Amino acid sequence: MAQLRVIKKRMSAVKTIGRITKTMQMIATAKFTAAANRAASTKPYTERIRELVHEVSSSASDYNSPLINGPGETRNRELLLVISSDRGLCGAYNGNVLKTAIGHVRDCRERGVELDIEVAGKKAANFFRFQKIEVAAKHSLGDVPAYEEVEKIASSFIRRYMSGDYDAVRIASMHFISNARQTSELMQLLPMTRPEATTDSQETSEGPTVVYDFAPSIDELLDDLLPLMAKTVLFQAFNDAVVSEQIMRMIAMKAATENAKDFGRILKQKFNRARQSQITTELTEIISGVAALE
């Protein structure tokens, strides 16, 4: 009888867990849909900014800026922004991002480069506190990153980079490729890579090169476009991170719900067997008692 009560309690607990994970799956699905729509709407703008900077900078071979050519004097100091989630239960999302981040931290130590770390998300902050690694700043943008908040972070990065505090600014985050594939990446935000010059074979296959007449000058355009590109790329990184987090949480909660159902069926079988065994034992005792009276 005691065994039946224990199994019944476990069955009730598993059903409760299954309802919770099912609800979390539905919430993650709704958040994923909204985040995917936001990321999809901003991606064409990000790509167009990249193309525009490519077209303008390819016409300015003599343009010099630390944002694209790198700092004039190196200081052996870099800045790393780690984008994680505020909550768990999202599969390997945080684990993959933090693995990429700690790999870069070790690489900087081996190269003798001083590294300042900033985090966005409680999971990254807790991880580096556990590792006894100092965090310079913590950012909290939630599930819906606002461009205004991201712009402030990007502007701070650009200002400190331009003043010579850092040789490079990098981002460790999850890159959303498709619903079935998300990969952690270490992206260099600053300095930006100068586009390669177009070769004659490329001109032949893709058509003639378009010649632009710029007003204002190319230098003035790039002075405005490069900071805008850095802000846009960082905003896209935050959007991709949110999309990846929600879809990985949705998948994790779906798997947890299915596991709860499977485990519930196993417990149901155990309960039925234990109940049948108890009934058989009671019948045997009754039959034995009747036989003894005869």
Rg of the Cα trace of the chain?
29
Q: pTM of the prediction?
A: 0.84
Mean of the pLDDT values across residues 181-193? Answer: 90
With beta carbons less than 8 A apart as the criterion, state whether 152 and 231 touch. Answer: no
The predicted pLDDT at position 124 comes to 95
Q: Quick check: 150 and 114 in contact, CB under 8 A? A: no
Q: Is the dihedral of CA 81, 85, 88, 94 positive or negative?
A: negative
Give CA–CA dist 151/149, Å, rounded: 5
Contact indicator for 188, 170 with CB cutoff of 8 Å:
yes
Tokens standing for 180? Answer: 């079935």
For the chain, the maximum distance between any two Cα atoms, rounded to a whole number of angstroms, is 116
Task: Measure the CA–CA gap between 254 and 123, rounded to whole angstroms.
Answer: 22
Q: What is the pLDDT of residues 15-51, one digit of tens each?
A: 999 999 999 999 999 999 999 999 899 889 888 888 8
Kindly give, in sequence order, each residue whose CB lies less than 8 Å from that of residue 99, ignoring residues fewer than 6 positions away.
184
**82 DSSP β-pair partners:** 119, 172
Closest CA to 64 of 195, 192, 219: 219
Check if the beta carbon of residue 249 is closer than 8 Å to that of residue 90.
yes
Go through the domains of the chain in sequence order and give each one's CATH number: 2-25+252-293 (1.10.287.80), 29-250 (3.40.1380.10)
Under a CB-based contact definition with an 8 Å cutoff, are residues 84 and 97 in contact?
yes
Say if residue 199's pLDDT is above 60: no
Q: How many CB atoms lie within 10 A of CB 261?
A: 15
Distance CA 52, CA 218 (A): 12
Predicted confidence (pLDDT) at residue 197 exceeds the cutoff of 50: no
Query: What was the pLDDT predicted at 90?
Result: 92
Q: What are phi and psi of 170, to 5 degrees?
A: -125, 160
| Listed ranges 150-164, 187-201, 203-217, 267-281; the one with the highest mean pLDDT | 150-164
Arithmetic mean of pLDDT over the chain: 87
For the stretch 147-162, what's the b/e string if a residue is b when 16 or more beta carbons lie within 10 angstroms of its beta carbon?
eebbbebbeebbeebe
Q: What is the pLDDT of residues 92-127, one digit of tens each?
A: 999 999 999 999 999 999 999 999 999 999 999 999
Question: What CA–CA distance (Å, rounded) separates 22 from 17?
Answer: 8
One-character DSSP codes across 74-91: --SEEEEEEE--SS--ST
Amino acid identity, residue 1? M
Q: Is the pLDDT of residue 200 over 70?
A: no
Asked if 250 and 28 count as a contact pair (C-beta separation under 8 A), the reply is yes
Tokens standing for residue 29: 């699905």
The whole-number average pLDDT for the span 196-225 is 62
pLDDT digits (tens, 9 = 90+) for 237-291: 999 999 999 999 999 999 999 999 999 999 999 989 888 888 888 888 888 887 7
Q: Are 86 and 244 in contact (CB under 8 A)?
A: no
- For the ranges 2-11, 79-88, 157-166, 224-233, the lowest mean pLDDT is seen at 2-11
CB within 8 Å of 142: residues ≥ 6 apart: 86
